[in-house]
């Protein structure tokens, strides 16, 4: 007779239980439909829960519901002091190496199938007080709908349902919409970069901006001194449109370039006042803004760009 295998069942106390720790004398129920399941233990087949094929349940819905319950249980056990927080297996947004990141302490609880203010229903809502701060979606056969993901007003991660069942302590996002994370090595590079750039800023009387104007280090092509240069959101190289945030740093000036044959907003050396051309800064492999996509004007994009510039400064030999 065909049967459905149940990876976890619910006991009389509504607790999730693995078949390997279940007791023959107790009753267990399907987490999806609530139907009583059978604990099968034998020498040939692996110990498992099972119930008959039905119109209500199938392997996909059982896996989906079980994974959601396990995500919720992990948060509940953590907040009640029974276990450590779930660890997110993520990647550093600079070097892309693996980063293990515990779920933030501010998360209070997890609610299943929670309706958000925009009308969307998420598999699991991670709550801070009574407010949903993040969503967890479970993929079994189908990934989360892109329209739904883009519509959500809170960060979203998507987890593979089978992976959650195998090990609910590690959340390995297949879609990661949480704030980008940075590994310790890249954080150390940023600290080293900031120490050096602050010293140069003090020596040249430059103020380091906290928004809009990104900044990096380079060697002036003419006087060969180490200097600070700036990047900002613009249409492209040799842009003659004035930066939106005024005033610009004093070394960003509207100057005529013999190389370009026209005037544009460009970096200049604070010592010899020579133009530091956009082509070198953005397009040469050792330029401080090489491959930088400086288009967005937000605090998050500023932070991400600065971390990337700091990491690249070591590669280009400026640290």
What tens digit of pLDDT does each residue of 146-202 get?
A: 767 778 889 999 999 999 999 999 999 999 999 999 999 999 999 999 999 999 999
Could you tell me if 163 and 201 lie in one domain? Answer: no
The answer on 306 and 278 residing in a single domain is yes
How many distinct helices (H) and strands (E) make up the chain?
6, 19
Q: Helices 184-204 and 299-315, interaxial angle, to 10°?
A: 90
32 and 115 housed in the same domain: no
Q: pLDDT, tens digit, for every residue of 109-140?
A: 999 999 998 888 999 999 999 999 999 999 99
What local confidence, expressed as pLDDT, does residue 249 receive? 97
If asked whether residues 203 and 264 sit together in one domain, one would say: yes
Same domain, 84 and 129: yes
Q: Which two tokens stand for residue 263?
A: 């005037």
- Please name every residue paired with 219 in a beta bridge, in sequence order, or none if there are none: 226
pTM of the full structure: 0.80
C-alpha 109/C-alpha 126 separation (Å) is 6
Domain identity same for 311 and 213: yes
Percent of the residues in the chain that have a pLDDT greater than 90, as a whole number: 64
- Residues 284 and 195 occupy one common structural domain: yes
Long-range residue pairs from 285-290, CB within 8 A, at least 24 positions apart, any chain? 285/316, 286/316, 286/317, 287/218, 287/316, 288/216, 288/217, 288/218, 288/229, 288/312, 288/313, 288/316, 288/318, 289/214, 289/216, 289/229, 289/231, 290/316
How many domains, in total, are found in the chain?
Answer: 3
Give the pLDDT confidence of 24-54 residue by residue, as tens digits: 889 999 888 888 888 887 666 678 888 877 7
Instruction: Print the domain residue range for 165.
Output: 64-176
């Amino acid at each position: 007779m065909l049967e459905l295998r149940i990876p976890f069942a619910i006991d009389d106390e509504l607790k999730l239980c693995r078949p390997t720790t279940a007791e023959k004398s107790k009753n267990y129920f399907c987490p999806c439909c609530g139907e009583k399941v059978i604990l099968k233990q034998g020498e040939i087949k692996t110990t498992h829960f099972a119930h008959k094929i039905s119109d209500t349940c199938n392997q996909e819905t059982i896996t989906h519901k079980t994974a959601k319950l396990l995500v919720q249980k992990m948060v509940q056990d953590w907040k009640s002091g029974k276990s450590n927080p779930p660890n997110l297996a993520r990647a550093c947004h600079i070097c892309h190496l693996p980063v293990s990141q515990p779920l933030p302490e501010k998360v209070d609880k997890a609610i299943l199938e929670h309706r958000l203010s925009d009308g969307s229903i998420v598999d699991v809502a991670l709550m801070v007080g009574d407010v949903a701060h993040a969503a967890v979606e479970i993929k079994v056969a189908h990934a989360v709908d892109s329209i739904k993901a883009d519509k959500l007003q809170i960060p979203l991660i998507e987890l593979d349902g089978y992976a959650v069942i195998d090990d609910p302590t590690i959340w390995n996002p297949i879609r990661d919409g949480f704030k980008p994370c940075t590994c310790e090595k890249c954080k150390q590079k940023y600290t080293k970069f900031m120490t050096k750039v602050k010293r140069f800023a003090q020596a040249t009387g430059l103020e380091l901006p906290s928004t809009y104007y990104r900044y990096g280090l380079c060697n002036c092509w003419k006087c060969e001194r180490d200097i600070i240069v700036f990047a900002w959101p613009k249409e492209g190289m040799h842009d003659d449109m004035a930066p939106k945030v005024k005033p610009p740093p004093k070394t960003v000036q509207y100057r005529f370039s013999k190389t370009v044959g026209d005037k544009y907003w460009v970096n200049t050396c604070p010592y010899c006042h020579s133009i530091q051309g956009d082509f070198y800064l953005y397009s040469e492999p050792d330029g401080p803004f090489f491959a930088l996509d400086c288009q967005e004007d937000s605090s998050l994009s500023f932070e991400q760009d600065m971390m990337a510039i700091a990491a690249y400064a070591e590669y280009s030999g400026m640290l």
